[in-house]
């Protein structure tokens, strides 16, 4: 089974209260052998400056301490989840280069600094129009030269918009999604299976299986598995389902990372 969780948040993120050490202890208790802390490094407001809300010197220092204390039991990596905002591409990459990251998730959380999760972000748009806006923005973002490892929860948008259903019409959006996936593959970047979709009662992981199968059929190989846990009780949650999805799509491997380079782990 999968013993690596590549997406989690701690009290260093604005949306979590969990202490790093508690996450490490819980990860060991449930049998994980490798974890990556991927706290938010995001710019989703209009002042156009890097504002991570994280003291990264303290952050890296705490991870270094935990690696020494628990290194015999678990491998702990330094990661981040960034918001892909094209207008500050250089500033974001320059900031990331300051620290020795092992793994970075690039996510589509905001459109021109306006958070997709805000209630008024879809105002005046039909569901398909709103999702089209998201995927067109995604194409623009992934074609830039951001330094990231995998694109996070590619169909994240289906959680939001205030619509009665959470249905993604693939007939309408297929070509947009295909272009995102092809761009990622051409740039040597991967995607994640994010099991939070199940916790949000969407009925499937992010991305839905049809998108994951499309990625595989296009030649994509780099897939990480992450719980997107914001509390320790959600660590590695529904990884058995993620494992089955990988196998059903025909993947023979999932990915870990070492110093921003993918390492492939065989699926038994």
Q: What is the rounded distance in angstroms from the CA atom of residue 242 to the CA atom of residue 187?
A: 25
Q: What is the rounded distance in angstroms from the CA atom of residue 110 to the CA atom of residue 101?
A: 23
> Which of 179 and 15 is assigned the larger pLDDT?
179
Query: In this predicted structure, what is the pLDDT of residue 70?
Result: 98
Q: What is the pTM of this model?
A: 0.95
Q: What is the pLDDT of residues 139-178, one digit of tens each?
A: 999 999 999 999 999 999 998 888 888 889 999 999 999 9
Q: What is the pLDDT of residues 33-66, one digit of tens each?
A: 999 999 998 776 666 666 666 888 999 999 999 9
CATH code, domain with 166: 3.20.20.140
Lowest-pLDDT range, 35-49, 91-105, 125-139?
Answer: 35-49
Q: What is the rounded distance in angstroms from the CA atom of residue 165 to the CA atom of residue 50?
A: 35
| Per-chain mean pLDDT for the chain | 93
Domain encompassing residue 192: 4-266
Count of domains in the chain?
Answer: 1
* pLDDT for 184 beyond 70: yes
């Amino acid at each position: 089974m999968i013993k690596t969780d590549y997406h989690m948040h701690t009290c260093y993120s604005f949306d979590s209260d969990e202490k790093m050490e508690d996450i490490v202890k819980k990860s060991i208790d449930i049998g994980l052998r490798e974890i990556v802390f991927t706290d938010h490094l995001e710019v989703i407001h209009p002042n156009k400056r890097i504002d991570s809300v994280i003291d990264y010197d303290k952050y890296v220092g705490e991870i270094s301490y935990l690696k020494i204390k628990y290194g015999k039991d678990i491998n702990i990596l330094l990661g981040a989840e960034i918001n892909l905002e094209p207008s500050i591409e250089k500033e974001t990459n320059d900031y990331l280069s300051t620290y020795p990251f092992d793994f970075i998730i690039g996510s589509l959380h905001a459109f021109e600094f306006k958070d997709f999760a805000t209630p008024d972000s879809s105002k005046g748009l039909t569901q398909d129009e709103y999702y089209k806006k998201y995927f067109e923005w995604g194409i623009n973002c992934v074609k830039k030269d951001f330094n990231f490892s995998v694109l996070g929860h590619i169909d994240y948008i289906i959680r939001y918009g205030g619509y009665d259903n959470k249905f993604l019409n693939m007939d309408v959006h297929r070509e947009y999604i295909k272009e995102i996936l092809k761009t990622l593959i051409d740039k040597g970047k991967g995607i994640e299976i994010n099991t939070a979709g199940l916790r949000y009662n969407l009925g499937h992981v992010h991305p839905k299986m049809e998108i994951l199968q499309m990625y595989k059929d296009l030649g994509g190989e780099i897939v990480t598995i992450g719980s997107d846990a914001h509390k320790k009780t959600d660590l590695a949650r529904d990884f058995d389902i993620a494992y089955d999805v990988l196998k059903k799509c025909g993947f023979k491997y999932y990915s870990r990372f070492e110093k921003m380079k993918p390492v492939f782990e065989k699926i038994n």
